[in-house]
Amino acid sequence: MQAVDVVNRLKEILPKFTDDFSDISTITSLTRASTTITCTHVVSSISILSITRSGTTATVTTTSDHGFSTSSSVTISGATQTDYNITAVIAVTSATTFTYTVAGSPATPATGTIIAQPVLLATGNYVTIRGAKEPIALTSITRVDGIVTVTSATDHKLSDPSLYSLDQLPLYIEIAGVTPSGYNGTFELLTVPTGTTFTFSISTTPTTPATVAGYLLLEDQDGFNGYKQVTVTSATVFTYTTTNSSLGTPAQGTLQLSAGTRIDYAATPARIAQFYSENSSGVLKNWMFVVLGGTSIYKNDTIASDLSTAQTRNQNYWYQSQRDLSIYVALSSKSSTLGGAEADTARGYESALLKSLANYVFDSALTDSVYQPMVYVASETDDYVDAYYIHRFDFLAKGFITKEDTAAFSNGTPLQVINGTITDKGMTYKPTTRIL
């Protein structure tokens, strides 16, 4: 298990429980063609009050807090002097100012209606897509009293309620895009006569038949939604692949993109404090860091350095390895005097971390191939200064070292067999001897 493995697990799972460590964008379109899904999303922009240049350094002043961090990438656009219009790595100097390097000698100050946009994604990055529902096109909707009969253009993928036990009922479905709108909403599924027909109950009396049949919306598990590696095609568009080439399209629902996840790993806790303090002149956002601790070796709950655990010949070789790791949550406390609110906020992430890591099994490089399920150990305040508060959550995972992980063990070189005869006092002997 490496720190990056824990980071990737947190990036995949944590956004399901909190948005506090991600940049959330609205998705305006999510469509499928064959096994390729194309996503169009909104990128927020900050109005720029001024850009001035000294040598190759451009200083940007924004009309409001920009929320950027040093070393992040930002796209500048709208300047009449096009040399300013680039994507650049910035250095934050205050909550409303940052600098970047320009080529050439554009006039200063810059003119035009200028904006700054964060670069959320690059090809190869991972994002979390959520809120998407798969649409199944409907061809007809008719009603007789409180029973609605629906026909779909393709397999509706619904299960017949008669196959479920009473404690699993009722089952519900969601209908959208129908005219009249009285057919839209969530309803109890009654029967599934065929793969393209089903019925549901309704308490109102919309006109029958419906003039626009609309969609059946299915919860999407890992078609549109999920943790995806993307190929960026423009500032607001990227693609990713799906294994479901029959996924209904376009996706419906409240579509959101979780990107720019502020989760990383560090060699030591000191590097975390240094990283966070270096950005203290800007608006500090919540960050989460993974630091792997040491590995301890035990046998029968005794530390391996104790001579009582020493391996002897003809003894089955095994030891237990314990890998410690800590999750550090760093929060801005620039507006706080005592840090109590920040401490409470940090402790509030305990549930999300438990759902992300506790009981999860990470891969191991040892012969055993996996660690035992991750164990949550403790949490406590780690550091608090004027600009930031850091809280620590401790976990551990145990694995086994067996003889297959070690050098080959030998009891010595076998003796060679030599056959012959010996005559002594008129008697002949045929001994079998062994020599080195």
- DSSP state letter for 83: G
Calculate the alpha carbon distances from 156 to 152, 186, 217, 242 in Å.
Answer: 6, 16, 9, 19
pLDDT higher than threshold 60 for residue 412: no
Alpha helices, DSSP H only, in 172-288?
269-278
Q: Among candidates 224, 236, 215, 217, which has minimal Cα distance to 36? A: 224
**pLDDT one-digit tens code per residue, 193-249:** 999 999 999 999 999 999 999 999 998 877 999 889 999 998 889 999 999 888 999
pTM of the predicted model, to two decimals? Answer: 0.73
Residues linked to residue 375 through DSSP beta bridges, in sequence order: 396
How high is the pLDDT of residue 189? Answer: 96
Q: What are phi and psi of 190, to 5 degrees?
A: -100, -60
Report yes or no: 293 and 323 within 8 Å, Cβ to Cβ: yes
Delimit the CATH 2.40.30.20 region(s) of the chain. Answer: 133-219
Which contiguous run of DSSP H or E holds residue 77? Answer: strand 73-79
CATH, domain 133-219, list 1.10.10.60, 2.30.30.40, 3.40.47.10, 2.40.30.20: 2.40.30.20
Report yes or no: 160 and 171 within 8 Å, Cβ to Cβ: no
Query: Where residue 405 falls among pLDDT bands split at 50, 70, 90?
Result: confident
How high is the pLDDT of residue 139? Answer: 96
The stretch 407-424 carries a mean pLDDT of 60
Report yes or no: 274 and 287 within 8 Å, Cβ to Cβ: no
Token pair belonging to 379: 């949490």
**pLDDT one-digit tens code per residue, 146-192:** 999 999 999 999 998 988 888 898 999 999 999 999 999 999 999 99
CATH 2.40.30.180 assigned to 46-118: yes
How high is the pLDDT of residue 308? Answer: 56
CA–CA separation, 367 and 420 (whole Å) = 47
How high is the pLDDT of residue 368? Answer: 78
| Residues sharing a CB contact under 8 Å with residue 46, sequence separation 6 or more, in sequence order | 62, 63, 64, 66, 67, 115, 116, 117
Percent of the chain with pLDDT over 70: 88
How high is the pLDDT of residue 344? Answer: 93
Delimit the CATH 3.30.2000 region(s) of the chain. Answer: 264-405
Query: Three-state DSSP class for 9?
Result: helix
Q: Which of 33-42, 64-73, 313-322 has the highest mean pLDDT?
A: 33-42
Q: Among candidates 75, 239, 210, which has minimal Cα distance to 150? A: 210
CA–CA separation, 37 and 238 (whole Å) = 9
CA–CA separation, 218 and 132 (whole Å) = 9
Q: Among candidates 253, 220, 223, which has minimal Cα distance to 27? A: 253
Q: Which of 254-263, 291-300, 406-415 has the highest mean pLDDT?
A: 254-263
Query: Three-state DSSP class for 180?
Result: coil
How high is the pLDDT of residue 436? Answer: 47
How high is the pLDDT of residue 421? Answer: 66
Could you tell me which residue, 315 or 266, shows the higher pLDDT? 266
Architecture category of domain 264-405 in CATH: 2-Layer Sandwich (3.30)
Query: Where residue 387 falls among pLDDT bands split at 50, 70, 90?
Result: confident
How high is the pLDDT of residue 410? Answer: 60
Average pLDDT of the chain to the nearest whole number: 87
CA–CA separation, 391 and 330 (whole Å) = 7
Delimit the CATH 2.40.30.180 region(s) of the chain. Answer: 46-118
Query: Where residue 413 falls among pLDDT bands split at 50, 70, 90?
Result: low
**pLDDT one-digit tens code per residue, 236-290:** 899 999 998 889 999 999 999 988 788 999 998 888 888 877 665 555 688 999 9
The stretch 56-80 carries a mean pLDDT of 90
Other CB atoms within 10 A of residue 314 CB: 6
Which contiguous run of DSSP H or E holds residue 39? Answer: strand 36-41
- Cα–chain-centroid distance for residue 247? 23
How high is the pLDDT of residue 121? Answer: 86
| Residues sharing a CB contact under 8 Å with residue 149, sequence separation 6 or more, in sequence order | 141, 142, 143, 197, 198, 199
Query: Where residue 431 falls among pLDDT bands split at 50, 70, 90?
Result: low
